[in-house]
Amino acid sequence: MSLFFLRHLKTLNNCNGIISGKTDSELMPEQKIYDQPYKNIVFDVALCSPIKRCQDTIALIPKERIINTISVAELVERNMGDLEGVTKAEAMLRFPLLFYSGKVDVASVIPNGESIQDVLERIEPVISYIKANKDKNVLVCSHNQTMKVLYCALCGISVTNAFWQVFNFPNGVLIRFEDIKNSSQ
């Protein structure tokens, strides 16, 4: 069986360069999930962030393709604290020491937010669940930063700035874990 990742569809904040973090943002209209070549996979369970943008995304998958959907609080996006609700450009001006090559430095501690280590500790129950259910088709519908940390934990690799700068989950694209691992080796 297999593990799949699905980042929520694009939001208004994504399109406007606004940092969302745990703050919600409406999905852009008329989007579809790209699920080729997996459109016939039936998921035994879908683990989904409770944030509305993820709930709205998972709702677009036909019900007959998901046996059980579980809202999982640990899958919320990283709390971006004082960066939430501002444009990335403004955040870089106000907090330049938090950034590395245009992205949040993985070693930074965001004021009133979460560190990468905080996210890793928060998602430990998800990691345990995935490992205990290797015999099932599991779908994780979440957010870019949370899924990047989850991916690193499952692969046993450290979250580094080099990785963080180049690796992203595209919005609305269903991706099989093994395919990501094979393409990044």
pLDDT tens, 107-146? 999 999 999 999 999 999 999 999 999 999 999 999 999 9
DSSP 82-122: GGTTSBHHHHHHH-GGGEETTEE-TT---TTS--HHHHHHH
Q: Considering only the top CATH level, what class is 3-183? A: alpha beta
CA distance 183 to 185: 6
Please report, for the chain, the start and end positions of each structural domain, with discontinuous segments joined by +: 3-183
Residue 44 confidence (pLDDT) above 90: yes
C-alpha–C-alpha distance, residues 165 and 48, integer Å: 25
**CB 64 within 8 Å of CB 46:** no
pLDDT in tens, 82-114: 999 999 999 999 999 999 998 999 999 999 999
pLDDT band at residue 34 using 50, 70 and 90 as cut-offs: very high
Say how many C-beta atoms besides its own lie within 10 A of residue 150's C-beta.
Answer: 23
pLDDT of 184 reads: 63
Question: Nearest 5°: CA angle at 154, between 152 and 157?
Answer: 40
pLDDT grade for 77, boundaries at 50, 70 and 90: very high
- For the cut 80, the answer to whether the pLDDT of residue 178 exceeds it is yes
Task: Using the structure block, give the residue that is written with the tokens 């007959």.
Answer: 64
Stretch 74-78: mean pLDDT, rounded?
Answer: 97
